[in-house]
Structure 1
């Protein structure tokens, strides 16, 4: 037994020694004989990182209508770094025959400056599977035929300035985005929601680390992180109302071009404009139109210089890429009288019912030692007769507000700047905070602003070497929205909405929420925008008379400046309150080489006594606000009235204003002119202006038949 065990142990020992000998021999072979060969092979193996582009999130309207999406499309790309001089011409000729696209067109697409320098150039897109196979079968060097996700805008130009567009990275974006894992050929947001919500829409790129050899064969996957799709962004606009607003604005501009200016004798150029529709109960933007506009689909694949110039540098339709609703800065004209009226009341300079005799102009009294321009005229120098604050607003008496602004100038102390303070309280002179890029803040004139403008550009603002001191004439011009005042259409809508809702100034929301599309959070809101209140403004006593004046602007019986635009309008339950404006544009039209025409402005809310929506319309060089802009606003209100029937009840984030119910002398109750002054919601028993009617001869508000029955 011991002898058998010994033999087994001896065998095991020999086996172990043999194995160690074989291992040592193999190690000697690899480390000595094949050292150089294995070192070269190890150098040839390397780690390759593959970045997977995520699917970009969509942009949808408040009801889920898709405004921006992605589609799979066949593309042909060319990497020009793969070619020797002269070789590219042969490749383009071959592609031209395959794609039926002129070689010159393909060559021009290689010069697309909007694409990152390191990226392959897309020379053809929209190919189907058969087209891709035809190109791939040729195996042309540096040419790749593949499927790619392309951005598409199903609604075309509708909401283009809100949605924005995607394009190649700018030099400023390249360094930051390439480090964040973007691919050089990726399209990124360039304007609108596409730009400001780029991080949310883009998603997280996938990243896979592979070990590959010199032949490109993958040996193993070192690590892998899957791409996460971008989130969807829901905007507050209604696609149907947006389409209607853009259409009405365009039609209004075309109609203005067929109208002859009484001042110049030429047709109005009516080169562009903007319209904004807001829900004044919560600050939601329901529509935002800017004209001229564009189709974002044009810009997805990039444009050649010639194509870009022909579309976006048209001198007769300038600034198509600019969102005039937030970037256009205009003199507001007479719509700014809302600010001046409230400022005069705040300074206790205005007695709302005091009579003022408008003789067609205001002349600075001699006691103030005026030199230079001392007389300021109404439009057409027309005298309006006796007016109070209400009728001065309704009939747009410049002379009345010239006097208010002049008298404010001579008040020493803080009240001297009452107009500027009230303008700032209503949101003028600062960005509104809407979720869109490139918003301008406008300008409210004062002594500091005047000095800065004179110093920065004296040729434009001070060609005659005038004093930079703030003068009475400066305050007078500011009082009617001229001079150094400039505002954006969204500021106008927000300011009037603030006054209509009783003083709640919102930061407008054009985005409702951002919804995740990845992993366990699919369909979950990751960002929600509730009403954002900037501040609560308290308006002075007598502001109800201002409201009353705005109510009369569309009234024929009260000779409002917009009555013609609203003649035949069904105001039952949906009457409007607003203000017209005709702003003088400074300078010369660079295309027509003549003095610029007046711009038309109109801002209004509806219904009068249950304010829900505010509309602001600005039309450049289109004439009078009541003739050009007010008809556009009317059509928008009619569309609003129809569309809101299908909308759910919105979130209300303000306390509706209570009506002012002043005591009215009994003798005035029988005057027919006062029938429109009856404040809705006034408690019974307070004497309010009420016209006698055949059914109510004594004018007490109770039908005489009911009184006899009692």
Structure 2
């Protein structure tokens, strides 16, 4: 009976040995694993664990300054408190804790929780709103507010336990010192947050100068020279605890400030130009229009001052305008709507280089240059009757005045339309009497295009308009693009919404709207019809008359200077072409335009002005626009400068802008009564300095040094 008991005991011992072996094996394996993790791979895993508690915060660079030709600051930077939230930590919080933190943060900075939530959404996520969502890394603190009051910022910094994951630091934003009270919004431009597409494109191209929190130039020189101005971001690596509180700085890379842009703008001249443009518009709005029997609308205007010999822009203004600081810190939907509002005059549109207007009689000097080498001469005499009959319509002079038989020079002085109608009709009859011939020669059209009309000037400002030379080819292409629209009107019975003029025009256009007829050629010769120009194009054209035939690409930028004051790049004037115009023709036109100032249509605005010392050449213009009041122009120049001012719905050229033109010339040359005092000129030495401002080691910027005897 003992054997069975012995066998059972043996099996029990065997099981115990197996279990012990398994336990020891597991313990040995666990020990080996722990030894491997803690000893052999300990440093690697320790580093990984440490890295999980390290946050990388992008440090935005200080954007480069924008200064005028004398070194006066036009755009600078100021410090602002910025509050950001750590999305990673927020994602680890309970719903209740997250809501409590957002509510507490919103109360501290005066921001609604829904607005914070919109900022925290990644662009591309459901519900994300462009311009509000976050473009950057989801692991980087997201900026939710800037220009936070210092008290609120310090409260968050001093109570980190109440604001886990909330980062507060100081960053720079744009500031506009406005020397002499200038605005210059359309010249300077503005900034706005980078878009997702722009960020993706930059990442694909390896461009590290932008990130999700970057702002980039959207208009003006801010956009044109953005890559120089933006600088290079840096970063700070900080160790944080489980609640997102910063324990210590780990490492970092300093941000590289952007470069300074020196412009050719002179703030003092810019101030005069802006003031005069605004004053002329205000004056015309209070003036009764004798044609429409109501006050002038004077809805917009522009002015340009350019160096005649280089094409550099000294001043340029547009009305209506806007405050460029409205973009700092984010623009509201209401503010943005106003900038694009037609009722407000579309303030975002830079009339000086984006606005397009019929040039009126300011066009005639270019027509003279086109006519004289092609069968006409300075001794040519044509009649200047009060009207010329073309087909079944009488084409009139302004105010139906007649001046008898006159030369080209006198026709420019009195701005005789009927004289130039005859010139335009002559070339149509000689070269292109077939209205269907799109390739017919026309010296007037050819000369207009040589002066750069119908093409962008190449100015270093984005969004420039090209204008239009309304020749035969343009009329054909316009017909092809619009025939369905106008034929649609013509094929239906006239209703109460369609005026007699529009209905009649539509019927004629539908039948033969491509034909370039005699009235088209007549209108072209006086700057009427469908030809349109920008004020900058007109200034450049008059610059070529002033300097003897060189067409320049206008420039606002003058140099790029590094933060330590070294000149990186000088932006030289660029010559587009030398016009093939006989010098005798240019001299003839020049003398005729001097006559406009001394005894022609501009003389009444220059009474008592020292024209013997400041020899101004000028041309006035009044362009008729269907359904609106006339557009007024004055284009003028000396050997040094070109000054152009225009006003939409402002009446005659000299009547609307003549006083403003005079005031600008007085400021440029230091005119004092009937004399000239160069010491009172807006620019020391009268003409712009060739040298750049002096940049000191301490960050100071001094005016350019003048060489003896001038420059």
The residue number in structure 1 matching 2:145 is: 123
1:158 corresponds to 2:201 = no
SS in 1 for 2:169: strand
The residue number in structure 2 matching 1:132 is: 153
Could you tell me whether the CA contact under 8 Å between 1:420 and 1:444 is conserved in 2?
yes
Cα distance change, pair 104–384 in 1 and its aligned pair in 2 (3 A): farther
The residue number in structure 2 matching 1:471 is: 517
Rounded Cα–Cα distance in structure 2 between residues aligned with 1:159 and 1:50: 35
Cα distance change, pair 305–89 in 1 and its aligned pair in 2 (3 A): farther
Residue 402 of structure 1, CA deviation: 0.3
Could you tell me whether the CA contact under 8 Å between 1:281 and 1:651 is conserved in 2?
no
User: For 2:62, which of 55, 60, 68 is the aligned residue?
Assistant: 55
Query: TM-score of the superposition, structure 2-length normalised?
Result: 0.76
Deviations 1:101-150 (A, max 9, x none): 7889989999985345346354351533x441123345335644321111
The residue number in structure 2 matching 1:549 is: 592
SS in 1 for 2:304: strand
SS in 1 for 2:661: helix
Structure 1 stretches lacking a partner, 5+ long = 1-24, 365-369, 587-594, 653-710
Deviations 1:139-177 (A, max 9, x none): 335644321111111117622111111111234423224
The RMSD of aligned alpha carbons is 3.6
Cα distance change, pair 49–625 in 1 and its aligned pair in 2 (3 A): same
Rounded Cα–Cα distance in structure 2 between residues aligned with 1:476 and 1:639: 39
Instruction: Map 1:82-231 to 2 at 5 A.
Output: 82=90, 94=104, 98-99=108-109, 113-118=130-135, 120-125=142-147, 127-128=149-150, 130-138=151-159, 139-140=162-163, 143-155=166-178, 158-177=183-202, 180-181=207-208, 182-206=210-234, 226-231=254-259
Rounded Cα–Cα distance in structure 1 between residues aligned with 2:243 and 2:334: 43
The residue number in structure 1 matching 2:673 is: none
1:361 corresponds to 2:387 = yes
Q: Which moved more, 1:387-396 or 1:226-235?
A: 226-235
Instruction: Map 1:636-655 to 2 at 5 A.
Output: 636-642=664-670, 643=681, 646-647=684-685
1:395 corresponds to 2:383 = no
Rounded Cα–Cα distance in structure 2 between residues aligned with 1:49 and 1:80: 13
The residue number in structure 1 matching 2:701 is: none
User: For 1:600, which of 611, 620, 632 is the aligned residue?
Assistant: 632
SS in 2 for 1:486: coil
SS in 1 for 2:317: strand
Could you tell me whether the CA contact under 8 Å between 2:119 and 2:133 is conserved in 1?
no
The residue number in structure 2 matching 1:457 is: 482
Could you tell me whether the CA contact under 8 Å between 2:264 and 2:558 is conserved in 1?
yes
Rounded Cα–Cα distance in structure 1 between residues aligned with 2:152 and 2:685: 46
Could you tell me whether the CA contact under 8 Å between 1:74 and 1:125 is conserved in 2?
yes
Could you tell me whether the CA contact under 8 Å between 1:435 and 1:511 is conserved in 2?
yes
Residue 70 of structure 1, CA deviation: 1.3
Could you tell me whether the CA contact under 8 Å between 2:109 and 2:148 is conserved in 1?
no
Could you tell me whether the CA contact under 8 Å between 2:340 and 2:348 is conserved in 1?
no
Cα distance change, pair 194–570 in 1 and its aligned pair in 2 (3 A): same
Rounded Cα–Cα distance in structure 2 between residues aligned with 1:32 and 1:467: 86
1:500 corresponds to 2:550 = no
SS in 2 for 1:346: coil
The residue number in structure 2 matching 1:367 is: none
Could you tell me whether the CA contact under 8 Å between 2:593 and 2:619 is conserved in 1?
yes
The residue number in structure 1 matching 2:334 is: 306
Residue 393 of structure 1, CA deviation: 0.3
Could you tell me whether the CA contact under 8 Å between 1:201 and 1:232 is conserved in 2?
yes
The residue number in structure 1 matching 2:309 is: 281
Rounded Cα–Cα distance in structure 1 between residues aligned with 2:158 and 2:241: 26
Rounded Cα–Cα distance in structure 1 between residues aligned with 2:165 and 2:532: 54
Rounded Cα–Cα distance in structure 1 between residues aligned with 2:274 and 2:327: 20
Cα distance change, pair 86–384 in 1 and its aligned pair in 2 (3 A): farther
Could you tell me whether the CA contact under 8 Å between 1:362 and 1:399 is conserved in 2?
yes
Rounded Cα–Cα distance in structure 2 between residues aligned with 1:398 and 1:341: 13
Rounded Cα–Cα distance in structure 1 between residues aligned with 2:101 and 2:190: 32
User: For 1:632, which of 651, 660, 676 is the aligned residue?
Assistant: 660
Could you tell me whether the CA contact under 8 Å between 1:78 and 1:123 is conserved in 2?
no
Residue 260 of structure 1, CA deviation: 1.7
The residue number in structure 2 matching 1:376 is: 395
Cα distance change, pair 385–544 in 1 and its aligned pair in 2 (3 A): same
The residue number in structure 2 matching 1:407 is: 426
Could you tell me whether the CA contact under 8 Å between 1:249 and 1:275 is conserved in 2?
yes
Rounded Cα–Cα distance in structure 1 between residues aligned with 2:312 and 2:341: 33
Question: Alignment length, in residue pairs?
Answer: 600
Structure 2 stretches lacking a partner, 5+ long = 1-29, 121-127, 137-141, 433-438, 487-501, 671-680, 691-711
Rounded Cα–Cα distance in structure 1 between residues aligned with 2:85 and 2:182: 30
Residue 294 of structure 1, CA deviation: 1.4
The residue number in structure 1 matching 2:603 is: 563
Cα distance change, pair 481–448 in 1 and its aligned pair in 2 (3 A): same
Could you tell me whether the CA contact under 8 Å between 2:360 and 2:624 is conserved in 1?
yes
Rounded Cα–Cα distance in structure 2 between residues aligned with 1:60 and 1:302: 24
Instruction: Map 1:224-263 to 2 at 5 A.
Output: 226-263=254-291
Could you tell me whether the CA contact under 8 Å between 2:623 and 2:632 is conserved in 1?
yes
User: For 1:338, which of 365, 368, 371 is the aligned residue?
Assistant: 365
Query: TM-score of the superposition, structure 1-length normalised?
Result: 0.76
Could you tell me whether the CA contact under 8 Å between 2:309 and 2:640 is conserved in 1?
yes
1:31 corresponds to 2:31 = no
Cα distance change, pair 645–148 in 1 and its aligned pair in 2 (3 A): closer
Rounded Cα–Cα distance in structure 2 between residues aligned with 1:385 and 1:327: 40
Could you tell me whether the CA contact under 8 Å between 1:46 and 1:213 is conserved in 2?
no
Residue 218 of structure 1, CA deviation: 11
1:511 corresponds to 2:574 = no
Rounded Cα–Cα distance in structure 2 between residues aligned with 1:220 and 1:154: 38
Could you tell me whether the CA contact under 8 Å between 1:178 and 1:184 is conserved in 2?
no
The residue number in structure 1 matching 2:576 is: 534
SS in 1 for 2:603: coil
Rounded Cα–Cα distance in structure 2 between residues aligned with 1:616 and 1:125: 40
Could you tell me whether the CA contact under 8 Å between 1:56 and 1:201 is conserved in 2?
yes
Q: Which has the higher contact order (CA 8 A, sep 6+)?
A: 2
Rounded Cα–Cα distance in structure 2 between residues aligned with 1:575 and 1:351: 25
SS in 2 for 1:147: strand
The residue number in structure 2 matching 1:574 is: 614
Q: Which moved more, 1:430-439 or 1:44-53?
A: 44-53
Residue 467 of structure 1, CA deviation: 3.0
Residue 86 of structure 1, CA deviation: 8.8
Cα distance change, pair 572–94 in 1 and its aligned pair in 2 (3 A): farther
